[in-house]
Amino acid sequence: MTERPKTDTDDGEPRGPSIDAGAELDPVHPVAPPRPDGPGRPAGPDRPAGRAAGLTSAEVAERVARGEVNDVPVRSSRSTGEIVRANVFTRFNALIGILWAIVLLVAPIQDSLFGFVIIANTGIGIIQELRAKRTLDGLAVIGEARPVVRRDGAATGIPTSGIVLGDVVELGPGDKVVVDGEIVEADNLEVDESLLTGEADPVLKHPGDPVMSGSFVVAGGGAFRATKVGREAYAAQLAEEASRFTLVQSELRTGISTILKYVTWMMVPTAIGLIISQLVVKENDFKDSVARTIGGIVPMIPEGLVLLTSVAFAIGVIRLGRKQCLVQELPAIEGLARVDVVCLDKTGTLTEGGMNVTELRPLGDADEGRVRTVLGALGASDPRPNASLRAVVDAYPGTPGWRATAALPFSSARKYSGATFEENGAGGPTSWLLGAPDVLLPEGDPALDGIDALNEQGLRVLLLTRVDGAPALDAPGVSDGAVPTALVVLEQRLRPDAAETLTYFAAQDVSAKVISGDNAVSVGAVAAKLGLPGADRTVDARQLPSEREEMARALESASVFGRVSPQQKRQMVGALQSHGHTVAMTGDGVNDVLALKDADIGVAMGSGSEATRAVAQIVLLNNSFATLPSVVAEGRRVIGNITRVATLFLTKTVYSVLLAILVVCTQVEYPFLPRHLTLISTLTIGVPAFFLALAPNKERARPNFVRRVMRYSVPSGTIAAAATFVAYLLARSHYSGPGALAAETSVATLTLFLVSMWVLAIIARPYTWWRVGLVLLMGFCFLLVLAVPALQNFFALKLVGTTLPWAAVAISAVGAVLLEIAWRLVDRRFPA
């Protein structure tokens, strides 16, 4: 990376840390050292006259040799070994492996097909996760923070892992403190330690003060010397864990784990009863009894469900990676699909980065030439100008001869900045403030006349005020009595894809809330241009109630909010969540960190500050708000399709358990060999589920995954088991002689296949050409097995006569009708 984040964004737009009329903090500044002390950057109690010297190359090499390097790995994904272990060493794989080994000893190879299928499925899972790992690792390198250190007299951006003990690391607004250290330079340096202490108020740092990894800069600048690196910096380890790609808990994964727990409880006693029934009570051929017993146990295990979920997530990561979207936590794909409220910054999200000065309006008897000079001096006093001040600097270059004796960096809480100058030819020092007009002046001030008209055009307006003397710039009442001097009018450009993205969210029943530090009227004008509903009813966040319930009601009734403070952003997220909403928060500045951390899903821009990227679950490396619909669509595809295929897998588990119970109760031979159920599972579950899990799906994600899956799979499995067992009992009463058991098994297999195919046909709805083709292809494959003698022999399937085969078809037709009735009753009685 050749850039590192600048902070102080106004609504998410990349800007530097400076003076903005209500902008929030800026996220992308070039890697360049802060200016040395000189004109406009005075030495003082917080700013030593000389810069702290960094290490030499020789000193760095010496520390590396001693192991004093920040070698804590921050991985974007699981290691290869972890991926292999997670896919291979599962309790179900262990159980299936034991059963497979037994079948290999006592039965033909056809009955051990289920073991080969598991090996193939596990291999597919490993390959897909490794592909996802490569994608994530590559994206993580692109988005990696590169702190600036001083070495050999120059400032250089290096990877976080390259910092050594004693390095002098420079800090600017939005920079994350990556190792523990001690402040050596401070220029009004304010550090937010909320992620460590929970205290949201920033802490003013002075030389000699400690600074902990995991905190981040909200205003000012400076440098610190690294005192603890690597694993000695405990807070750095916490930050690593917080920002690492992990397979954390999600409703989908938790639901599947719950299902598997219940399945295990049902499977164990049922399997024991089946073993006793087939090996002790019935005096059958031992090897055949073992094979049929294992044939009854294996399909109880929904082993493919976990695998398919991992594959679906992994492929989702790969697809999003191609769109420059870094998913730092897999369930974030799922989470964003469940979102029903998305909170957006204006600048950098709805508008593009960069601004232009379109007008300068001197107020009163102010001289325009002097105003231009003052603006140039203010721009020169800030080493990292944000987008607003950068536009001012471009329009009004600095003038030599102005010496700053004090400076106040921009803060999104204050919404203004300033400096005190010793002017050439002036009688004494004069302080100047630049920021939000309605913050610097009391309501009703004549200087505010006409500003609303500019805001209604979507323009941003800065106010320049003069304060005589040299008051403390950070004093609460410093703007009292300030003399309005000029208005600076800035123009922002709308993102061409913003309106389309907002339209997408509206069509998907996702409410968009624009929350900005800018003037509410200006924010509303921008939102109106994009066609956002409710843009004509903007709310000044300073008028919002502080009580959570009242704030939540206010948020429900409006969509556009201006003059929102960083702490209010966090409160707004919490208020929406208290009303049952799943909230996504987008941002790129340090003022967004607390809200991003508290939101259900945090989305950071790739050009955002290091702190925002560290706490966000999703990073849009291309800085495009238009990427979010792709993430939502991918999440909905994963959740909707996994819900579909989970019903298939659980239907199989239900009918397998019920068939085993019926066999135990009636003391008959288990109707299937492993090869029969492998064939049925492959054609009605395994192959179709793979394609259905990866197909497009725009259905909105809904909660209660376990309930929604079980309400369909239980009646479906019950009907399938009942139809199969009835056909099996009819066949037992019809056939006799040496080949009777094979004929009975064939009838039962035909019945179970047809009923399972109807379950598949229901789940495949709504039909498309490829879904219909998939169902028909599976049916054709089964007919091929019945028609080709070699396949008949391989799978031990041969329909004898016509009476029972047609009876099986008739029973299956009744089962299909019952399935349709059951699904409709479930939809009516237990709506999702």
User: Tens digit of pLDDT for each residue in 255-312?
Assistant: 777 877 777 787 778 878 777 777 665 555 667 677 777 777 777 777 777 777 777 7
pLDDT for residue 576: 92
Contact 281, 667 (CB under 8 A): yes
Tokens of 634: 């991918």
How far is residue 451 from each of residues 352, 440, 519, 522, measured CA to CA in Å? 22, 13, 10, 10
Q: Of 767, 753, 779, nearest to 652 (Cα)?
A: 753
Neighbours of 481 (CB within 10 A): 10
Give the model confidence (pLDDT) of 185-214 as tens digits: 888 788 877 666 656 567 888 899 988 887
pLDDT for residue 624: 78
Q: How far apart (Å, rounded) are the C-alpha atoms in residues 215 and 176?
A: 6
CATH architecture for the domain at 354-493: 3-Layer(aba) Sandwich (3.40)
pLDDT level of residue 239 (50, 70, 90 thresholds): very low
pLDDT for residue 821: 93
- Residue 43: pLDDT above 70? no
- The whole-number average pLDDT for the span 640-667 is 87
Give the model confidence (pLDDT) of 683-716 as tens digits: 998 889 888 887 877 777 777 788 888 888 999 9
pLDDT for residue 544: 87
Q: In this structure, which CATH number among 2.70.150.10, 3.40.50.360, 3.10.129.10, 3.30.465.10 belongs to the domain 33-245? A: 2.70.150.10
Tokens of 152: 């050999």
Tokens of 788: 């080709």
Q: Of 714, 709, 712, 784, nearest to 753 (Cα)?
A: 784
Q: How far apart (Å, rounded) are the C-alpha atoms in residues 368 and 374?
A: 10
Tokens of 296: 């009854």
Q: How far apart (Å, rounded) are the C-alpha atoms in residues 450 and 448?
A: 6
Give the model confidence (pLDDT) of 748-794 as tens digits: 999 999 999 999 999 998 889 999 999 999 999 999 999 999 998 88
pLDDT level of residue 4 (50, 70, 90 thresholds): very low
The amino acid present at 629, given as its one-letter code, is P
Q: Where are the alpha helices (DSSP H) in 67-111?
A: 80-88, 91-106
What are the structural domain ranges in the chain? 33-245, 247-317+632-829, 354-493
Contact 731, 678 (CB under 8 A): no
Q: How far apart (Å, rounded) are the C-alpha atoms in residues 697 and 601?
A: 21
The per-residue b/e assignment along 45-56, b for 16 or more CB within 10 angstroms, e otherwise, is: ebbbeebbebbe
The amino acid present at 537, given as its one-letter code, is R
- For residue 487, the cross-strand partners are 361, 463
Q: Of 326, 433, 464, 353, nearest to 11 (Cα)?
A: 353
pLDDT level of residue 490 (50, 70, 90 thresholds): confident
116 against 564, higher pLDDT: 564
551 against 132, higher pLDDT: 551
Q: Of 66, 224, 200, 142, nearest to 591 (Cα)?
A: 200
Q: How far apart (Å, rounded) are the C-alpha atoms in residues 555 and 574?
A: 11
- Residue 9: pLDDT above 60? no
Contact 693, 308 (CB under 8 A): yes
pLDDT for residue 818: 95
Q: How far apart (Å, rounded) are the C-alpha atoms in residues 700 and 635?
A: 9
Rank 116-130, 346-360, 650-664, 749-763 by mean pLDDT and report only the highest.
Answer: 749-763
Q: How far apart (Å, rounded) are the C-alpha atoms in residues 145 and 598?
A: 22
Q: How far apart (Å, rounded) are the C-alpha atoms in residues 22 and 520?
A: 10
Contact 338, 360 (CB under 8 A): no
- For residue 360, the cross-strand partners are 488
pLDDT for residue 353: 63
pLDDT for residue 369: 84
Q: What angle do CA 618, 619, 622 make, to 5 degrees?
A: 140
How far is residue 307 from each of residues 87, 121, 310, measured CA to CA in Å? 8, 7, 5
Residue that is written with structure tokens 């009646």 in the block: 715
pLDDT level of residue 28 (50, 70, 90 thresholds): very low
Q: What angle do CA 457, 460, 463 make, to 5 degrees?
A: 125
Biggest CA–CA distance in the chain, Å, is: 120
pLDDT level of residue 224 (50, 70, 90 thresholds): very high
Contact 348, 729 (CB under 8 A): no
Neighbours of 766 (CB within 10 A): 5
Q: How far apart (Å, rounded) are the C-alpha atoms in residues 515 and 420?
A: 32
Which residues neighbour 502 within 8 Å (Cβ) at sequence distance 6 or greater?
512, 530, 531, 532
Tokens of 44: 């003082």
Which residues neighbour 322 within 8 Å (Cβ) at sequence distance 6 or greater?
135
Rank 18-32, 43-57, 493-507 by mean pLDDT and report only the highest.
Answer: 493-507
Q: How far apart (Å, rounded) are the C-alpha atoms in residues 4 and 157?
A: 8
- The whole-number average pLDDT for the span 673-677 is 85
Q: Of 434, 462, 562, 623, nearest to 5 (Cα)?
A: 623
Residue that is written with structure tokens 């609504």 in the block: 11
How far is residue 655 from each of residues 116, 621, 721, 753, measured CA to CA in Å? 23, 47, 5, 12
Q: Of 266, 247, 265, 252, nearest to 305 (Cα)?
A: 252
Q: For the chain, give the percent of residues with pLDDT over 90.
A: 12
Give the model confidence (pLDDT) of 529-570 as tens digits: 888 888 888 888 888 888 888 898 888 888 889 888 878 888
Contact 604, 588 (CB under 8 A): yes
Q: Of 701, 13, 611, 613, nearest to 344 (Cα)?
A: 13
- The whole-number average pLDDT for the span 16-42 is 34
- Residue 526: pLDDT above 70? yes
Q: Of 696, 679, 701, nearest to 770 (Cα)?
A: 696
pLDDT level of residue 718 (50, 70, 90 thresholds): very high
pLDDT for residue 485: 86
Q: Of 635, 773, 654, 793, nearest to 711 (Cα)?
A: 654
DSSP 428-475: S-EEEEEE-HHHHS-TT-GGGTTHHHHHTTT-EEEEEEEEES---TTS
Neighbours of 504 (CB within 10 A): 18
The alpha carbon of 305 is separated from its chain's Cα centroid by a whole number of angstroms, namely 23
pLDDT level of residue 34 (50, 70, 90 thresholds): very low
Catalytic residues: 345
Q: Is 364 helix (H, G, I), strand (E, B) or coil?
A: coil
Give the model confidence (pLDDT) of 403-452 as tens digits: 777 777 777 767 787 888 876 555 667 888 888 888 888 877 887 877 87
Q: How far apart (Å, rounded) are the C-alpha atoms in residues 76 and 547?
A: 39
**Regarding the domain with residue range 247-317+632-829, which homologous superfamily does it belong to in the CATH classification?**
Calcium-transporting ATPase, transmembrane domain (1.20.1110.10)
- The whole-number average pLDDT for the span 221-225 is 89
Neighbours of 759 (CB within 10 A): 26
pTM listed for this prediction: 0.66
Q: How far apart (Å, rounded) are the C-alpha atoms in residues 204 and 416?
A: 17
The separation between the first and the last C-alpha atoms of the chain, rounded to the nearest angstrom, is 47
Q: How far apart (Å, rounded) are the C-alpha atoms in residues 326 and 619?
A: 5
- The whole-number average pLDDT for the span 627-651 is 84
759 against 383, higher pLDDT: 759
Q: Where are the alpha helices (DSSP H) in 107-250?
A: 113-142, 194-197, 234-243
Q: Of 418, 492, 431, 482, nearest to 461 (Cα)?
A: 492
The per-residue b/e assignment along 403-425, b for 16 or more CB within 10 angstroms, e otherwise, is: bbebbbbbbbbbbbbbbbbebee
pLDDT for residue 455: 79
pLDDT for residue 779: 94
